[in-house]
Amino acid sequence: MEKETDVESREVEYVGQIVSGNDSEFLLREKQGAKLELGDLLVVDNEGVKYICMVSELSYGSLIAPERILTSAGSILEGVNPRLEFPEKDLRIFRQIHTKPLLEVISEGERMAGRAPRSIPEFMSKARVAEASDFSFMEEPRTKVFIGDIRSGGKTLPVGFSMDGEKLLSHHVLISAQTGRGKSNLVKVLLWEAMKHEKFGVLVMDVHNEYYGTTTSPGLKDHPNARRVLRYYSRSPPPGGQLLKINLKSIDVDDLKGIVEFTEAQEGTLEMLRREKGAEWISALLEWSEDEKGSRKPTGTIRVLKRKICNIFNLNETPAGYVCEDGVFDLGGMGEETINDMARALEDGKVVLIDGSSISDDAGLVIASAVIRKLFDRYEEYKLSGTIHEKAQIGVVLEEAPRVLDVAHGGNIFSRIAREGRKFKIGLIAITQLASVIPKDILANIGTKVIMGNEMAQERRVLVENAAQDLSGYDRIIAGLEVGEAIVSSIFSKFPVPVKIPKFEEIAGSSKAQGRGQTQKQAETPNMPPVRKTYF
């Protein structure tokens, strides 16, 4: 590939040259042998400005008549005339590289700054492959949450990409991908990073009990700050963990909204019970005799409600009364402070991890709803008193988020947070395979979208339409993302950032994990210019 010397007297290897385009796409003729791929980051240097672009499409170009090409291909393929029709380095045949301009880097006094593209390079400008020093303009955020290393196609640059934790959590996060593309790994990485600051309260209902860790696999328990900032609730807690015991008096009727489907008659009965019995509404429902004289509700409604409540909380009727088969829920005097303790821990900036593997998904969502409802009430008071700025930023991890954010269930606490939680310092980390099911107003209100591999065209289309930046032309790039690869589109970044998310085991197992200032590749390349992790 052609090599030249730039104004800084360093050798530059060019891979293409701009031959046409506009402010939304630059078309390059590829240098023979460059072998560029979809997603590769390229840089076009002009005087006073640097253009960073991404390869979005590859195509063939030829100055030879199509009929001659077809005739030559046929003769070679069929062995009629195996002589090569064209020389090996025939300049009339080439590859065309379509690129999306992502960012302009300009000089502002003594510093470099990135901004959205406002111009186009000089015609016939040459392009080179991006390198770490091209991102030296990036600034380190105040509360840094590392997401991954910047990725150029299938290669990872020694440049860490981080975002400000306060902004990231307060404006909601969407993690969208199909199964097996690394969603859970990314959540563990984000939680690990959040725990470094000891100031972010994050509630996690761990339905598969995969975040805490075991004796053979690392988890959040291995974080250097775990003793101070991690609260782990389980039916069978390890030393230092908390017993997951929830008194049903802590559960409100509202905590079931969007999780359990009720008819209008059933909802009316539940509201009546709450008004008359208060916190004892579940006990009152279970004790309601079908032949009770003066009953104001049809016995059929009562029977159905009893069955639904018993199914959610795994309750069975015995001669001594109703008991919870898994031991998590209690109708007596145990577990009365558990919900309050969880809410208090979140307010104190701790990660509350609940082992949901021993309970149903519905029960787990009800517990999460009860905790966040309690916390939301407190934060509303702090907002009124003008002290909310002193409180910890809260995040709520929602697995398969569309289920509780669906427009049909707009009255639950999760959809309320999605719409107005920002002003109360409570945000969502919504995880899903089906972003298209999330109501459009909620999807548009999510500030950061981490788009991972997705082969479903409809889902890619929805993500592209609701991204913070223009992702037109990214369809094939998103479809081809490998495990751990993602595009981060955020209102806090100047361009959609391609990243490679590290394996959680690498972070948790590294002795330098807490102060991760360099990637392993940087550590092995001492002459590489220092690069700062950042948001834009």
Could you please state the CATH topology (level 3) that the domain comprising 144-245+335-523 is classified under. Rossmann fold (3.40.50)
95-133 pLDDT tens trace? 999 999 999 999 877 788 888 899 999 999 999 999 999
- Residue 530 pLDDT: 45
Number of helical H runs and strand E runs in the chain: 16, 24
Beta strands 111-115 and 11-22, pairing class: unpaired
Tell me the domain boundaries of the chain: 3-130, 144-245+335-523, 250-330
221-267 pLDDT tens trace? 999 999 999 999 999 999 999 999 999 999 999 999 888 888 888 98
- C-alpha–C-alpha distance, residues 99 and 87, integer Å: 28
Q: Where are the beta strands (DSSP E) in 31-154?
A: 41-46, 49-62, 93-108, 111-115, 126-129, 144-152
- C-alpha–C-alpha distance, residues 281 and 232, integer Å: 29
pLDDT at 63 over 80: yes
346-367 pLDDT tens trace? 999 999 999 999 899 899 999 9
- Section 39-55 average pLDDT: 94
Beta strands 93-108 and 25-30, pairing class: antiparallel
C-beta neighbour count of 513 within 10 angstroms:
18
CB 383 within 8 A of CB 155: no
- C-alpha–C-alpha distance, residues 333 and 372, integer Å: 22
Single pTM value for the model: 0.88
- Residue 515 pLDDT: 45
477-534 pLDDT tens trace? 999 999 999 999 999 998 999 999 999 999 988 744 444 444 444 444 444 444 445 5
Record the tokens describing residue 428, joined without a space. Answer: 């969502």
3-state secondary structure of 81: coil
- Residue 113 pLDDT: 87
- Residue 519 pLDDT: 41
Q: Which residues contact 172 (CB under 8 A, 6 or more apart)?
A: 418, 421, 422, 427, 428, 429, 430, 445, 446, 447, 448
CB 52 within 8 A of CB 116: no
- Residue 7 pLDDT: 42
